[in-house]
């Protein structure tokens, strides 16, 4: 990575400047695909040699690719400490013959090869097998069991580019995301990364500021790792910009990392379904197909209600040209625990105009605030019932 005018620029492979890396990616995947039974060290050395002989060799890239290839692999590990036990046993058996020499003479009688064969005979295994098991707990000597690989070599290159940006975020102390879509998905991935948030509505969407609880009390880089974990999920979202404040050791001032949804990075993280349930999907389709709903405009999860770290995403937002606005939340066939949680969340937003479509089967178990209007449904939410609730006013 480089720093230009106070901005941090992670290493990035591009089709224009690094076209040869596509064939290199294919060759690296082949090394692992054909390397079942080989040690991690052996595989790494072959990958490093492959890149060493390529035009425009950059040493740090070899280590990065090896790490990514390892993450797509399964290695045979010494989970029960058998190697350590075997070492103690072998070293104890060899101790009586110390010192070992390559060729015996009148002064030193213990020839290394003879001692090895004697130990192997006592263990009832060939020495080649004993030697293989002796350091199986050392990461370099883990043997490759399986390689899941990448569907296409280009995906390895894409993963490399994302990983370099993640490494840059390790030093992040503050992350600001300005989004115009996929608000719920952004917060979902932030929650999975254990990030705290502060939320502010903007003219075009929302601004999310992410950090962690300790950042309020002391200067810490602890949450940079969490921000790096958050990045692949953010890349699955639409229409956002990111600004990160990066602290680099021995660098006097904070460095800025900037990124947006059009930067060319991609990930395999799921963007999630368009609707949370078939009931929501069916209602939206019926609403659009019903002429009487005009001039009300229907929007899907474009509003966030928030109180501290509690956020609530109504399923739908309705807007009228005269300025009226209402929210719709569909409450289906859920567990008692879910209903209690939903009630607790809704109780924090008593002043909001929220229409609650509650399944008839759980209506007697659900208590709503007096300010929230309830309509019941059996198997499908009625467009006419919702429209009546909207036109009834606050």
Share of the chain above pLDDT 90, in %: 47
* Rounded-to-5 percentages of helix, strand, coil across the chain: 40, 20, 35
- Of the pLDDT bands very low, low, confident and very high (cuts 50, 70, 90), residue 49 is very high
Task: Provide the angle, in degrees to the nearest 10, between the axes of the packed helices 153-169 and 21-33.
Answer: 100
DSSP-derived secondary structure for 95-123: HTTPSPBSS--SS---BHHHHHHHHHHHH
What is the sign of the dihedral through the CA atoms of 135, 138, 141 and 146?
positive
Residues 152, 291, single domain; the answer is no
Q: What is the mean pLDDT of residues 211-219?
A: 50
Q: What is the mean pLDDT of residues 316-323?
A: 92
Domain membership flag for residue 200: yes
Residues 47, 8, single domain; the answer is yes
What is the C-alpha separation between 235 and 194, in angstroms, rounded?
17
**What pLDDT score does 321 carry?**
93
The contacts of residue 18 (CB under 8 Å, 6+ apart) are: 56, 157
Domain membership flag for residue 44: yes
Among the listed ranges 108-112, 197-201, 229-233, 314-318, which one has the minimum average pLDDT value? 108-112
Residues 15, 150, single domain; the answer is yes
pLDDT at residue 231 is higher than 90: yes
pLDDT at residue 288 is higher than 90: yes
And the tokens for 274? Answer: 């368009």
Domain membership flag for residue 272: no
Residues 73, 89, single domain; the answer is no
Question: In this predicted model, which residue has the larger pLDDT, 240 or 310?
Answer: 240
Share of the chain above pLDDT 70, in %: 95
Domain membership flag for residue 370: yes
Mean pLDDT of the chain, nearest integer = 88
| pLDDT tens digits, 166-185 | 999 988 888 999 999 999 89
**What pLDDT score does 218 carry?**
47
pLDDT at residue 39 is higher than 90: yes
| pLDDT tens digits, 63-90 | 999 999 999 999 988 878 888 888 899 8
What length is written for the chain?
394
> Do residues 183 and 300 lie in contact, with contact meaning Cβ atoms separated by under 8 Å?
no
Domain membership flag for residue 334: yes
Residues 293, 362, single domain; the answer is yes
Q: What is the mean pLDDT of residues 338-362?
A: 86
What stretch of H or E contains 73? Answer: strand 73-76
Domains identified in the chain, total number: 4
The vertex-37 CA angle with 35 and 43, nearest 5°, equals 45
Residues 128, 187, single domain; the answer is no
**What pLDDT score does 217 carry?**
39
Tell me the residue range of the domain where 33 lies. 2-77+140-156
And the tokens for 28? Answer: 């690296």
Residues 358, 247, single domain; the answer is no
Residues 287, 360, single domain; the answer is yes
- Of the pLDDT bands very low, low, confident and very high (cuts 50, 70, 90), residue 216 is very low
Residues 14, 93, single domain; the answer is no
> Do residues 245 and 256 lie in contact, with contact meaning Cβ atoms separated by under 8 Å?
yes
* Exposure string over 85-94, b if 16+ CB within 10 A, otherwise e: ebeeebeeeb
Of 155, 113, 111, nearest in space to 268 by CA: 155
Q: What is the mean pLDDT of residues 259-281?
A: 87
Residues 312, 252, single domain; the answer is no
> Do residues 260 and 315 lie in contact, with contact meaning Cβ atoms separated by under 8 Å?
no
Domain membership flag for residue 165: no
Residues 147, 30, single domain; the answer is yes
Domain membership flag for residue 376: yes
Q: What is the mean pLDDT of residues 98-105?
A: 78
Residues 148, 16, single domain; the answer is yes
CATH number at residue 351: 3.40.1350
Domain membership flag for residue 316: yes
**What pLDDT score does 167 carry?**
92
What is the C-alpha separation between 366 and 339, in angstroms, rounded?
7
And the tokens for 338? Answer: 């879910």
Residue 314 sits at φ, ψ, to 5 deg, of -60, 145
CATH number at residue 236: 3.30.70
End position of a domain, from candidates 260, 289, 316: 260
**What pLDDT score does 22 carry?**
94
């Amino acid at each position: 990575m480089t720093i230009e005018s106070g901005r941090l620029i992670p290493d990035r492979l591009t089709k224009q400047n690094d076209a040869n890396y596509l064939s290199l990616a294919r060759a690296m995947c082949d090394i692992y695909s054909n390397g079942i039974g080989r040690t991690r060290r052996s595989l790494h050395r072959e990958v490093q040699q492959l890149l060493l002989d390529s035009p425009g060799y950059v040493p740090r890239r070899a280590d990065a690719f090896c790490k990514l290839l390892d993450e797509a692999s399964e290695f045979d590990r010494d989970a029960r400490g058998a190697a350590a036990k075997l070492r103690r046993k072998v070293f104890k058996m060899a101790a009586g013959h110390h010192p070992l020499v390559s060729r015996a003479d009148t002064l030193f009688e213990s020839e290394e090869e003879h001692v090895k064969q004697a130990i192997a005979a006592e263990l009832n295994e060939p020495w080649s097998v004993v030697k293989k098991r002796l350091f199986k707990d050392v990461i370099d000597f883990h043997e490759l069991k399986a390689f899941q690989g990448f569907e296409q070599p280009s995906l390895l290159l894409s993963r490399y580019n994302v990983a370099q940006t993640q490494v840059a975020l390790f030093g992040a102390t503050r992350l600001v995301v300005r989004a115009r879509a996929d608000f719920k998905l952004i917060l979902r991935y932030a929650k999975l990364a254990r990030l705290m948030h502060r939320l502010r509505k903007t003219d075009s969407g929302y601004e999310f500021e992410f950090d962690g609880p300790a950042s309020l009390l002391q200067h810490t880089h602890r949450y940079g790792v969490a921000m790096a974990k958050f990045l692949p999920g953010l890349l699955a979202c639409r229409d956002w910009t990111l600004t990160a404040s990066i602290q680099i050791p021995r660098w006097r001032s904070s460095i800025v990392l900037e990124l947006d949804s059009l930067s060319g990075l991609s990930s395999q993280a799921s963007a999630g379904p368009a609707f949370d349930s078939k009931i929501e999907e069916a209602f939206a389709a019926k609403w659009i197909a019903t002429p009487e709903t005009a001039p009300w405009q229907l929007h899907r999860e474009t509003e966030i209600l928030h109180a501290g770290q509690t956020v609530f995403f109504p399923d739908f937002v309705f807007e009228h040209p005269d300025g009226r606005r209402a929210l719709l939340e569909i409450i289906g066939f859920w567990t008692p625990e879910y209903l209690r949680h939903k009630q607790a969340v809704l109780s924090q937003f008593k002043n909001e105009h929220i229409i609650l479509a509650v399944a008839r089967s759980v209506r007697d178990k659900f208590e709503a605030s007096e300010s929230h209007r309830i309509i019941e449904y059996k198997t499908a939410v009625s467009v006419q019932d919702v429209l009546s609730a909207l036109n009834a006013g606050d």
